[in-house]
Amino acid sequence: MPDSTGRILWRRFPVLGGVARGIRRGTVFWGIGSFLFFMLYFFHVRRQIDLRFLYHAGNFALPSGTVIDFPIYRYGSEFLKGFLVRPGGLSEYVASGLCQYYYYSYLGPLVVTSVALLMYFLSHCLIRIYGGRGGGVLRFVPPVLLLIACNRYTFVLHNHVALVAALVGSVIYLFVAARTSRALVGFIVFAVTCVIVYCMAGGSYMLLAILCVSFELLTRRRYLLGGLYVLIALLVPLGGAWFFGIAFDDAYVRPSGLFPFDGTLGVTVLWGLYVFFVLAAVAPLIRCATGWLARVSGAFRPSGKLQAACTAAVLVAASVLSALLTVDRDVRRLLKANYLARMERWGELLEDVRRHRSQGYTPSVMLDINRALFETGQLGSRMFSYPQHPSVLFEIGSHAVDYKGGCEVLLRLGRINEAEHAALEAVEINGERPETLRSLAVIYIVKDQVDTARVFLTMLSKDPIAGEWARETLRRLEDDPRMSSDEQIRYLRSVMPLRDMIVTSTRSTESMVGTMNTREMLLLALLVRNRKNRMAFEYLMAHYLLTKQPGKIACSLRRLDDFDYPAVPDHYGEAVLMYAYNVRRQVKPAGSAIRACTRRKVRKVIAIVGDCKGDKDAISKALDAEFPDSYCRYLLTDKSGGSR
Amino acid sequence: MIHRRWFCIFVPLAIAVLIVLYYCFPPSVTVPGKYVEAPRRPSIDPDYANCTIPPNIAPLNFAIREPGADYRVRVYGDEGEGFVVSSRSGRIVIPMDKWKALLELNRGGDLYFDIYALGQRGRWRRFSTITNSIARQDVDSHLVYRRIKPVHTIYTNMGTYQRDVSTYRETPVLLSDPDSHRCVNCHTFVNNNPDTMCLHVRGPGNAAMILAKDGSAAKIDTRTSFNARPASYTAWHPSGRLAAFASIGVIQFHHAVGNSRGVLDLGSDVCLYIVDSNRVTSSPEIADRDRLETFPTWSPDGKHLYFCSAGKIWEDRPGVPEEYHEIRYDLVRVSYDLASGRCGKRQTVLSAEETGLSINEPRISPDGRFLLFCMARHGSFPVFLKSSDLYMMDLETGRYRRLGINSDRSDSWHCWSSNSRWIVFASKRRDGLFGRVYFSYVDRQGKARKPVLLPQRDPEFYDSFIENFNAPELITEPISIGAAALARAVESSEQTDAAFVPMPSAPVADTRGDKEPPATQPRKTVKTDLQSARRHYRLARGLIQKGQTARAIEQYRLSIESLPRSHAANVPALRELAWIHAANPSEKIRDGKEAISLAARARILAQRQIRLARSGRARKHARTALPQLYDTCAVALAQCARFSDAAKTALHAERLALDEGQIELAVKIRRRVELYLAGKPYRSSRIE
């Protein structure tokens, strides 16, 4: 296997040599098998999980109440310092940095696969040191558990980096201890490793303590030394609590990710990983297990090839099952929608949602759907083919996610101050996320507060992904502080309101643009400022549709002339005809005409209502069957999103 | 083998030792021998040039904003040799020990920075020397401030911190729990001494004052039957036996344009908290129900209580009154006798009428000579107002003047050092959004010198720090009570409720609502003369058609006066008269307030009519008039420049019109809404 250079390397670094020998002693089958396993692992993470969804999720609240809190990373010592003030901070820092690679379709999966490979490698070493023969299929347990955690999208890498740090510390100690009988050397290495690993990995350090203590007690049977190790293991977190100024109970368990145990699969899997390594430390048990396996396999007397095939089959089955069965498809669907919206791939977003429209969507995704409908010119005609709710147009409320999405929509509409409000609230709740900082920079440039914009841009320039954009914008600001040549800035200035008014008053957590009147006023003021603001017009009409004010649609139809609509959009036409029917008055839209098919549809709906004689269930059923995507159905039954 | 092992150990060890030695004893750098003179001051950030600096301040690290590949800065004074700092990036980090020695040696003298930059052609340039003065008097050793992001309504991460002025060490005093959404505010100390201090927490389900004294902390609810709102802006009496505070009902609102945030006190009173007896007291002199009182502060002898006061200029109504920008506070004071616990009559020290501005945050220097305050165009929240500037009043002469240290952005949240020679304030001058702390030396004549930005270890710290420093308070020694003890007090379920006792000299009724009602006027007996009312009404309409509006108004009035106030038949006349007063093109005829009053009266009568209608038909008939009545209200509101209220009312009118099928009216109202949103009132000689 290794050439002469390799041999020299192994000789110089006995750890690597031991590992290489360990791998070499395995058959070629294991080598190829492992390679294939990790190749498939990589492609599964890339294709099925797609870590870009996590990167763009930022701070994403799931319907279950869990919040995906994707870590932030900044270049510079100031950011690092924030992590050094607590045990385990360093592993968090490293994990935060690694997580930024999730932005890239290949590098993110490569990071996760590398962590899995590292765990595979460390479990191999541990099992060997404890007297096993490298663990065979057992080595694949940690990567598979890691994959399950990935599949759940609640994957916080820092817990796993801390675990890896503890394992590396353990392997270093065990390797030294296995090669020396001098207790003093072992003691010094243990004490030093404990302190370093505790600072790096926090509560995860207890795994190191357990592995080392069990090694001394069970394998080496040095009870006095083992007892001393227990004492040190207990004292180190106490020292950490004093040094870092944290609570004593926190010093032992946090931030390992094991507590509080909330029963979710992510935490259970993490527990599984810890339990696996603790079990691995119990060498006699492993030996018994391997002996039992040998006896079992001996009873069957399988040939070498059959044994290898059986093991491979078990491995493949376990991996495939865990890969396929544990993917949280609901979360994936939501995160994918969110990702497509952040990438402004509106057509794909609508297509994806249409495929799963019978599923539930969070308000923030519904907000993105409406944005996608607008961007693709379908808001007035296809809105009720998708799930809708009266407060999902640009609602920003007490919920974290709504602020981010709300900010984007408000900014695009031209409501600069409200977008600023939403973005600053988002910073307070979700932290200094790149997309929010970017929005804030744009907002302050539009408002001609260049000095303020610079603060946000300077902060953003330290972001590994968005930093380039920030640096470029800072350069452009040097040349032209108003950035008048920028198309987006020019557009926003052309639609932003110029006349001040009190938008809303708020007491504590009250929603900002919560009241119907406020939303309507915000949009009308935009149209007063710039009558060609198509988004403001369509959102105003959508607001009327969602809040069931068809009369106001009729009242606003004259504004259609400001835009190049070939005909009155279907939903507006339906609303006008339904209103006219209700008040028994004829309403003539100025300029554009209501399509004949819309008229027929409304006539038929009116006939259905007449036939059903007020029976709401019957009306609902009939409309579900005949006009699942119509506004009439929403108006009469509150239902939207096509047939269910 | 042994040789190799030793090599493996020795080499990394040697490298580590070298690194340690390099950082402990960096190689001495010197200024370049050859250079060309650049006859101008270099651009540095923060702008530490021509400032007066405290002799005990931490090194003023700065960044050189000049192009160059290498930089040298010689820091020196009239005494001592000085030292040289080098940097390739232009970030100048000054060594602490050398800085301290230099400042101590040159106390009362000058401090110089000679800056050299290496140009592209390998030629050094030397800029003009930057000179700063070192004051003789120290600034107090510690600074306590609150750090908070530019939040709007949600508070998750904020905290009060103390900073050692002579180093960069910052430690938390109290951090808010992110899940509690609690505001931590208004930390105050007795005579700049942290042995007795208090701060406040306010949030969902928790509003209390945390009183820390002699190393222990207690949680006190200062809300009583008199003051239902929690305390803020506390000011300790110099004796430490009581503290004055403002009990404020505050509302935050948002602007559509410009600075996004605004704050208004809807009601506020000054009260006193007596520590030993755990009682709250007040009197009408400091808590007038028709006025707003806030920002109390004591004279150093404790014999006078100064505060700000403004009259309420709006009637009670929900939301933010659009006249908020007309409210301006006077500076007033009352005498106070500690022994009897009585306060004297209110005296105006400086009126808003005289200044044309709103006076906020008065603070008197510990030597009693100067009163530092800020003034803004309106209101009582200067930190949100660009127009807020610092002013100084000489209490011996009563003269005041604007300080030369102000910027064109908000300058506020000021305080004095214990020796009266330094002021510290928060200013948004750097970027307009984030408050930063500045020190300014005040000489014996009350002249403030160019302020110094609170130095940080990282010279570029402020370029990307997105938190505000606000409410800076100087203290003479560090706060002894730990953050954990204060946090425990905040979280504690044990809370002492303060009781209210009226102030002895001027008893204040415990329940404010029980005020004696004004003597009622004997009611006029109005005859019901429906025919006469109708006659006058018809006449009025005819006159309107002829364009004789003034005479028509007379007839409308006669019509209205012919019937009792609550008579439903008055509705059309009231509405039309309101319309004329609101929308008539003639300025002489327009009277916005009268129009609002008439329109509101008409609307109330109509709603009453709907409620009392016996038949569904009568009710429906009455309801058809309602959209027009709301529309008239909106027109009247717009005449008073209350455009937001007008737009809201008109939108409601539009909805009612659509409900009644009056689509033509709805379309007309919609056009008017658009006018209001453009900030224009509606004008028409016809009644619509």
pLDDT digits (tens, 9 = 90+) for B43-56: 999 999 999 999 99
pLDDT single digits (tens) B259-290: 888 899 988 999 999 999 999 999 999 999 88
**Chain A: nearest CA to B93, how far in angstroms?**
14
pLDDT at A506: 47
Whether the pLDDT of residue A19 is over 60: the answer is no
pLDDT at A509: 34
* Interhelix angle A516-529/B663-677, nearest 10 degrees: 70
pLDDT single digits (tens) A308-362: 677 777 777 887 888 788 888 889 999 999 999 999 999 999 999 988 876 778 8
A284 confidence band (pLDDT: 50, 70, 90): low
Inter-chain touch A425–B659, beta carbons under 8 Å: no
Whole-angstrom CA distances from A559 to A223, A375, A519, B47 are 87, 19, 18, 54
Whether the pLDDT of residue B505 is over 70: the answer is no
Instruction: Kindly state whether A454 is in contact with chain B, defined as any CB-CB distance less than 8 angstroms.
Output: yes
CA separation for the pair A358, A264 (Å, rounded): 25
Q: Token match 């005093």: residue?
A: B173
- Categorise residue A586: left if φ over 0, alpha if ψ from -120 to 50, beta otherwise: beta
Query: Are A255 and A162 within 8 A, CB to CB?
Result: yes
Inter-chain touch B667–A527, beta carbons under 8 Å: no
A11 to chain B: closest CA residue: B1
**Mean pLDDT throughout B520-539?**
71
Whether the pLDDT of residue B15 is over 90: the answer is no
Contacts of A428 in chain B (CB under 8 A): 149, 151, 154-157
Mean pLDDT of chain A: 84
* Interhelix angle A89-99/A77-84, nearest 10 degrees: 140
B252 vs A432, A505, A558: nearest CB: A505
pLDDT at B519: 44
Q: Both tokens of residue B352?
A: 């808003």
Taking a contact as any Cβ pair under 8 Å apart, which residues of chain A between 380 and 399 contact chain B?
398
pLDDT at B3: 62
Q: Both tokens of residue B121?
A: 């052609």
**Chain A: nearest CA to B686, how far in angstroms?**
23
Residue B193 Cα to chain centre, angstroms:
25
Amino acid B545 reads Q
B321 to chain A: closest CA residue: A502
A428 vs B151, B433, B434: nearest CB: B151
Task: Single out the residue of B428, B401, B393, B392 nearest to residue B412, CA to CA.
Answer: B428
pLDDT single digits (tens) A433-490: 999 999 999 999 999 999 999 999 999 999 999 999 999 999 999 999 999 999 999 9
Q: Both tokens of residue B417?
A: 């050092």
Instruction: Kindly state whether A246 is in contact with chain B, defined as any CB-CB distance less than 8 angstroms.
Output: no
Higher pLDDT among residues A160 and A641, named by residue: A160
Local structure of B657: helix, strand or coil: helix
Taking a contact as any Cβ pair under 8 Å apart, which residues of chain A between 43 and 82 contact chain B?
78
A52 confidence band (pLDDT: 50, 70, 90): very high
pLDDT single digits (tens) B62-71: 999 999 999 9
pLDDT single digits (tens) A362-383: 888 888 999 999 999 999 999 9
Instruction: Kindly state whether A534 is in contact with chain B, defined as any CB-CB distance less than 8 angstroms.
Output: no
Whether the pLDDT of residue B515 is over 50: the answer is no
B661 to chain A: closest CA residue: A583
pLDDT single digits (tens) B200-259: 988 776 788 999 998 889 999 999 999 988 899 999 999 999 999 999 988 888 888 988
Inter-chain touch A455–B256, beta carbons under 8 Å: no
Whether the pLDDT of residue A582 is over 60: the answer is yes
B668 to chain A: closest CA residue: A555
B443 confidence band (pLDDT: 50, 70, 90): very high
Span of A281-285, A599-603, B24-28 with lowest mean pLDDT: A281-285
Span of A510-519, B101-110, B306-315 with lowest mean pLDDT: A510-519
CA separation for the pair B418, B473 (Å, rounded): 11
Mean pLDDT of chain B: 89
**Mean pLDDT throughout B414-442?**
96
CA separation for the pair A256, A239 (Å, rounded): 18
A507 vs B251, B262, B432: nearest CB: B251
Q: Both tokens of residue B534?
A: 């109708």
pLDDT at B405: 96
Task: Single out the residue of B545, B487, B508 nearest to residue B343, CA to CA.
Answer: B508
Q: DSSP readout, B239-255? A: TSSEEEEEEEEEEEEEE
A34 confidence band (pLDDT: 50, 70, 90): confident
Inter-chain touch A583–B152, beta carbons under 8 Å: no
pLDDT single digits (tens) B623-680: 888 999 999 999 999 999 888 889 989 999 999 999 888 888 999 999 999 999 999 9
Inter-chain touch A428–B319, beta carbons under 8 Å: no
Q: ∠ CA(A171), CA(A177), CA(A178), 5° rounding?
A: 85
**Mean pLDDT throughout B511-525?**
44
Beta bridge partners of B376: B358
A296 confidence band (pLDDT: 50, 70, 90): low
CA separation for the pair B581, B646 (Å, rounded): 15
Higher pLDDT among residues B450 and A593, named by residue: B450
Percent of chain A with pLDDT over 90: 48
Span of A271-275, A399-403, A434-438, B323-327 with lowest mean pLDDT: A399-403
A431 to chain B: closest CA residue: B157
pLDDT single digits (tens) B115-171: 999 987 889 999 999 999 999 999 999 999 999 999 777 778 889 999 999 999 999
Whether the pLDDT of residue A300 is over 60: the answer is no
Contacts of A524 in chain B (CB under 8 A): 647, 673-674, 677
Whether the pLDDT of residue B336 is over 80: the answer is yes
CA separation for the pair B283, B181 (Å, rounded): 34
Q: DSSP readout, A500-531? A: --EEEEE-TT--TT-SHHHHHHHHHHHHHH-T
Range B325-347 burial, b when 16+ CB lie within 10 A, else e: eebbbbbbbbebeeeebbbbebe
Task: Single out the residue of B503, B508, B501, B496 nearest to residue B198, CA to CA.
Answer: B496
Beta strands in A64-162 (DSSP E): 67-69
Length of chain A: 644
Higher pLDDT among residues A395 and A209, named by residue: A209
**Mean pLDDT throughout A127-150?**
80
**Mean pLDDT throughout A133-150?**
82
Span of A153-162, A260-269, B248-257, B447-456 with lowest mean pLDDT: A260-269
Query: Are B143 and B109 within 8 A, CB to CB?
Result: no
CA separation for the pair B65, B51 (Å, rounded): 19
pLDDT at A389: 83
Query: Are B458 and A450 within 8 A, CB to CB?
Result: no
Q: ∠ CA(B181), CA(B184), CA(B187), 5° rounding?
A: 175
Whether the pLDDT of residue B517 is over 50: the answer is no
B432 vs A417, A452, A498: nearest CB: A452
Please state, as a whole number, how many other Cβ atoms lie within 10 Å of the Cβ of residue A285. Answer: 13
**Chain B: nearest CA to A454, how far in angstroms?**
8
Q: ∠ CA(A302), CA(A307), CA(A312), 5° rounding?
A: 155
Contacts of B320 in chain A (CB under 8 A): 502, 505
Instruction: Kindly state whether A497 is in contact with chain B, defined as any CB-CB distance less than 8 angstroms.
Output: yes
Instruction: Kindly state whether A33 is in contact with chain B, defined as any CB-CB distance less than 8 angstroms.
Output: no
pLDDT single digits (tens) B600-627: 999 888 888 888 877 777 788 778 889 9
Inter-chain touch B659–A551, beta carbons under 8 Å: yes
Cβ burial of B14 (10 Å; 0-12, 13-18, 19+) is: exposed
Beta bridge partners of B44: B64
pLDDT at A255: 67
Establish, for the pair of chains A and B, how many residue pairs have beta carbons separated by less than 8 Å. 170
Contacts of B322 in chain A (CB under 8 A): 502
Span of A311-325, A540-554, B447-461 with lowest mean pLDDT: A311-325
Taking a contact as any Cβ pair under 8 Å apart, which residues of chain A between 332 and 371 contact chain B?
none
Task: Single out the residue of A154, A121, A130, A185 nearest to residue A53, CA to CA.
Answer: A154
pLDDT at A178: 83
**Mean pLDDT throughout A128-150?**
80
Inter-chain touch A499–B181, beta carbons under 8 Å: no
A502 vs B153, B255, B463: nearest CB: B255
Contacts of B260 in chain A (CB under 8 A): 417, 420-421
**Chain A: nearest CA to B261, how far in angstroms?**
9
**Mean pLDDT throughout A483-512?**
77
Q: Which residues contact A57 (CB under 8 A, 6 or more apart)?
A: A68, A70, A153, A335, A338, A339
A288 confidence band (pLDDT: 50, 70, 90): low
Instruction: Kindly state whether A129 is in contact with chain B, defined as any CB-CB distance less than 8 angstroms.
Output: no
* Interhelix angle B626-639/B616-624, nearest 10 degrees: 30
pLDDT at A26: 55
Task: Single out the residue of B154, B176, B253 nearest to residue A398, CA to CA.
Answer: B154
